[in-house]
Amino acid sequence: MIAERIHSILDQLSEGVRLVAVSKYHPSEAIREAYTIGQRIFGESHAQELQRKHEELADLSDIEWHFIGHLQTNKVKYIAPYVNLIHSGDSPHLLAEINKQALKVGRIIPCLLQLHVAQEETKFGFTPDEAMRYLESGEWQSLKGVQLAGVMAMASNVDDEERIRNEFHQVHHFFDTVKQQFFADNAAFKEISMGMSDDWHIAIDESATLIRLGTCIFGERQY
Ligand SMILES: *Cc1c(COP(=O)(O)O)cnc(C)c1O
């Protein structure tokens, strides 16, 4: 089942779009099943759960762990030794802590700037204006343990396709603007992470490079 679903998604992806299989709340055995057919990137949103799975799946040495949920600063140290990409860089304070923990373990951790474009109030992230001011401040340039690698966002959880498209469009536009202004010579700044099970086709239309799919691969989560 997992294998068929992944194959069917991959068949619809063009070159340059990568699938993050969001395995939160699903057992390590489900990850193994996806790994067996070649899936390598997995997304988790709780530090302790990721830590446990990282240990349980230690034999899968080329697995890529992406952290996609809100990350509390006091949890950064647990995942800093091995996490491959943190999508949810949602505040200057968190990025500074990731920098500190990365340097402690001698790493440079790729991070995305999480943008808040949805209308829900509970979502974390920089508004595009805040993110622009953060980049203009130049503060990020002194974070030698953090590699800014692009942007991430979630759209509003609504059925209104035009609204979702508009939010993804804002993200794409923001990416293009800051790419040109701050990262023109920086090939590592290249990712637009957006699109979940219900809206990934729209995200791809708006140039997503990483889509984060959970339910449509692994089924409903058991909380
Ligand atoms: C859980 C989660 C996803 C996956 O959501 P689905 O609707 O199950 O595909 C994607 N992105 C983030 C940030 C998540 O927390």
pLDDT for 90-114, tens place per residue?
999 999 999 999 999 999 999 999 9
Give the pLDDT mean for 4-26: 97
The CB of 212 under 6 Å from ligand 1? The reply is yes
> Has residue 197 been placed in a domain?
yes
Res. 71: pLDDT tops 80: yes
Substitution site in 68, 152, 217 for ligand 1 pocket (most atoms within 8 Å of beta carbon): 68
Atom 11 of ligand 1 has which residue's CA nearest to it? 212
Domain containing residue 107: CATH number:
3.20.20.10
pTM across the whole model = 0.98
pLDDT at 122: 66
> Has residue 114 been placed in a domain?
yes
Interior angle at CA 137, CA 103 and CA 172, nearest 5? 90
Which structural domain, as residue segments, surrounds residue 99? Answer: 2-218
Substitution site in 45, 85, 115 for ligand 1 pocket (most atoms within 8 Å of beta carbon): 45
Q: How confident is the model at residue 209 (pLDDT cuts 50, 70, 90)?
A: very high
Q: How many angstroms does the Cα of residue 215 sit away from the middle of ligand 1?
A: 8
> Has residue 223 been placed in a domain?
no
How far is 205 from 133, CA to CA, in rounded Å?
A: 28
Domains identified in the chain, total number: 1
